[in-house]
Amino acid sequence: MSDLSELGVVETADLIAQGAISAEAATEAALQRLERTGPRLNAVARIDREHAREAALAVDKRRAIGAALGPLGGVPLAHKDLFYRKGRPCDCGSLIQRGFVPEVTATALQRLDAAGAVDLGTLHMAEFAVSPTGYNKHYGHGRNPWNADYCSGGSSSGSGAAVGGRLVAGALGTDTGGSIRHPAAMCGVLGLKPTNGLVSNHGVMPLSPTLDCVGPLARSAQDLARLLSVIAGPDVHDGATMAAPKRDYEQALASDLAGLTVAVPRGYYRDDRDAAVIKLADASLDVLREAGAKVIETQPPDIALVNALTLVVLGVEATTLHRRWLQERPGDYAEQVRARIEAGLFYPATRYAEALMLRANVAQEWLDAAMGHADVVHIPTIRVPVPSIAESTTGEPADIAAMIGRVTHCTRAINYLGLPSLAVPCGFAANGLPVSFQLVGRPYAEPTLLRAAHAYQARTEWHRRGPPE
């Protein structure tokens, strides 16, 4: 096997199980990529070489005696620097948490360990998971593997850059308003924001606990399905997961979409879209039709209301978590980050309570209008081409806020609605950067989203394209 970087999660696991490659070789190759290319993309927070090599050696020893390796046996992965591992420093992209050493290990990491995955270390992120572009004043901005002068997306910036740049085959991120889907879209990979409560948040630095979601980034729907099958399901440490199903998501994958209906909402989701985004989104719908899906048009409800409710919940919860630091260490936040967190100070308690009480009804209204009787909704992930780092960091605050609004236009409301959403690459804009569409489903409809994405990928090559060295 000449280039291990081109192997996906499932391919790597299968080859290791067959003895075609060793976990040690796969791990060493990934460590070299992280060390060589990681700095150029500012994708890496911390490499845990000793732990990774020990884990890989243990997998190879198990294979040598014929023991079962697990569904991720020997697969080298790395994850956003807010997943706690007991005894390992976790900075969360911030000065305030620099050197913080957790006393627990995140449930998601424990489940990856049990499935045989090799943890290489932690990946760069936006400060406290706040920026949708990968902005980090303290440690440098995330850089796009297709062009390092452009945004990687955030806040899971390192996860998107590392998977898109072929440093690792898969990574975990978190999504509070698009923070898995933004980097996936900008870096040309898939990113899944699961149904709220499907994956445990235990041992993960919170931003807005009722909006936060843990999910995977990878290059294929099958790889996402394998990762999700491992990390999803009930966790006694996270009460929000008590209703979460435990499934084998790979079983749902199919190349035929006969009987599937795709809804395409007009209005808000089509307003002010870039021409290239429209063209590539329409082409992706043609592919879904070829696979057997029926495409219908719908009209979404008042998304301005949904966005307003989202900002109330996010603002109040983030401010509550950061209140002591805002008082004691305000200068240790980047101005852009502090301003966004402090916004929650100005919402009355009645507005926050109202936003929580309206949530179920608003979600049902969105499903009734935007989805109707369809199985999935097809909308852009980001309605404009990937912006440059300069465009997202310089200029007047109002201009930067407008840029952030354009990036999050189609993603942030989905977290408030609690619905699963999957970003899928579908081509490239004139600036050479990736374009993506988003599939949204009903609660716990991840099998349907993955099935549709898998069928799309069976007929296209976008996900196989890697960035230039």
Q: Which residues are catalytic?
A: 80, 155, 179
Which tokens hold the place of 464? 């196989």
Q: How far apart are the C-alpha atoms of 160 and 125, rounded to whole Å?
A: 10
Q: How far apart are the C-alpha atoms of 432 and 436, rounded to whole Å?
A: 13
Which tokens hold the place of 430? 């004139």
DSSP strands (E only) in 181-270: 190-193, 213-218, 261-265
Which tokens hold the place of 266? 């007009």
> Taking the CB of residue 292, how many other CB atoms lie within 10 A of it?
14
Of the candidates 119, 122, 171, 164, the residue with the CA atom closest to the CA atom of residue 143: 164
Is 220 within 8 Å of 190 (Cβ atoms)?
Answer: yes
Is 112 within 8 Å of 200 (Cβ atoms)?
Answer: no
> Taking the CB of residue 99, how many other CB atoms lie within 10 A of it?
8
Cβ density class 114-137: b for 16+ within 10 Å, e for less: ebbbbbbbbbbbbbbbbbbbbbbb
In three-state secondary structure terms, 148 is strand
